[in-house]
């Protein structure tokens, strides 16, 4: 009996030791992720908003005060990071309190769907009909749940929703054969005024191109022209729809970083003051020059991925 009791005690001790070691190992393999910003001393935890003008963290309240003073607020995103969309919604809600005529421009829709977006804003479409008519899973292809909160708020408050993008079939055609590869109908979307001489923009995209080459699209000049057309169209959309009320623009970080994508191109057309907000996942690095504000966020969830056309079944 004593022998059995001794064995039981040993098992309990071994189990407790195992749990303690698991806890220690768990802490060891999941260190706190901090973010460093080039030319700003120190490192920053998730939830921190850094003003790159001062190099110091700012409160959400002071951040909002500054954003409310300008005509356009660009908020970047990593498309699959739910926390980025939660932040975008939070900012939209707060700015809407200050500007009831606020509009929201989204990269996720192209201009040709504007009548559908207007029906959504007016509350005349349910979600399933909206997704079908906007061809969400053919064009954007990310899980709608990522954007549901934003689009539901826009609908509930009847906020003007603006499709910024060029029709999605056009950029691949430019990437393969240049602008000359476009039909007359597609070429009509290409802005007459385009800036292709920004050396910093070209250098940034050359670095991107070197890591993301696709078979059949090996020509950098076509790749660069694709990006310029893409961003000029979105900038033109901002300028055309920027009326007496401010606009929040939602687009991928790559279109906002360093301001040479959409922001400077829209500013060239309007001259209206703007701010850029880059959302950076904890543990990643950034640069002080990347945006007016850098907001450190939780790392993205990996369950959301872009899908090939026809391969994604929308949640029921």
- Does some domain include residue 45? yes
Beta bridge pairs of residue 281: 297
pLDDT in tens, 258-277: 999 999 999 999 999 999 99
- Does some domain include residue 154? yes
- Does some domain include residue 302? no
Distance between CA atoms of 272 and 274, rounded to whole angstroms?
6
Range of the domain at 239: 34-297
- Does some domain include residue 312? no
- Does some domain include residue 309? no
105 and 14 share one domain: no
pLDDT in tens, 177-212: 999 999 999 999 999 999 999 999 999 999 999 887
4 and 123 share one domain: no
C-alpha dist (Å) from residue 217 to 26, 221, 223, 276 = 44, 10, 7, 31
Note whether 250 and 271 are within 8 A (CB).
no
Distance between CA atoms of 135 and 58, rounded to whole angstroms?
40
159 and 268 share one domain: yes
20 and 145 share one domain: no
187 and 75 share one domain: yes
Looking at the structure of the chain, the number of domains it has is 2
Distance between CA atoms of 207 and 141, rounded to whole angstroms?
26
pLDDT in tens, 79-124: 999 999 999 999 999 999 999 999 999 999 999 999 999 999 999 9
Distance between CA atoms of 278 and 300, rounded to whole angstroms?
15
């Amino acid at each position: 009996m004593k022998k059995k009791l001794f064995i039981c005690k040993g098992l309990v001790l071994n189990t407790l030791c195992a749990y303690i070691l698991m806890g220690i190992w768990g802490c060891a393999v999941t260190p706190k992720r901090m973010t460093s910003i080039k030319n700003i001393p120190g490192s920053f935890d998730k939830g921190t908003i850094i003003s790159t003008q001062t190099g110091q963290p700012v409160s959400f309240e002071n951040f909002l005060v500054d954003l409310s003073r300008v005509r356009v607020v660009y908020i970047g995103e990593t498309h699959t990071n739910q926390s980025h969309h939660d932040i975008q919604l939070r900012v939209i809600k707060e700015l809407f309190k200050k500007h009831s005529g606020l509009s929201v421009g989204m990269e996720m829709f192209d201009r040709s769907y504007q009548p559908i977006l207007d029906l959504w804003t007016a509350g005349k479409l349910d979600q399933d009909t909206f997704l079908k008519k906007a061809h969400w899973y053919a064009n954007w292809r990310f899980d709608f749940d990522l954007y549901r909160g934003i689009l539901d708020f826009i609908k509930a408050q009847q906020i003007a929703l603006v499709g910024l993008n060029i029709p999605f079939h056009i950029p691949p055609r430019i990437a393969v054969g240049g602008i000359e590869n476009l039909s007359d109908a597609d070429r009509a979307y290409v802005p007459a005024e385009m800036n292709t001489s920004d050396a910093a923009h070209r250098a940034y995209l050359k670095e991107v191109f070197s890591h993301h080459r696709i078979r059949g699209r090996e020509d950098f000049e076509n790749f660069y022209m694709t990006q310029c057309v893409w961003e000029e169209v979105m900038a033109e959309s901002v300028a055309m729809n920027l009326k007496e009320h401010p606009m929040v623009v939602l687009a991928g970080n790559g279109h906002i970083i360093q301001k040479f994508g959409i922001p400077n191109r829209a500013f060239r057309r309007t001259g209206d003051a703007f701010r850029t907000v880059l959302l950076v996942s904890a543990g990643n690095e950034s640069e002080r020059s990347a945006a007016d504000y850098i907001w450190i966020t939780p790392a993205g969830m990996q369950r959301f991925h872009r899908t090939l056309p026809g391969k994604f079944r929308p949640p029921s």
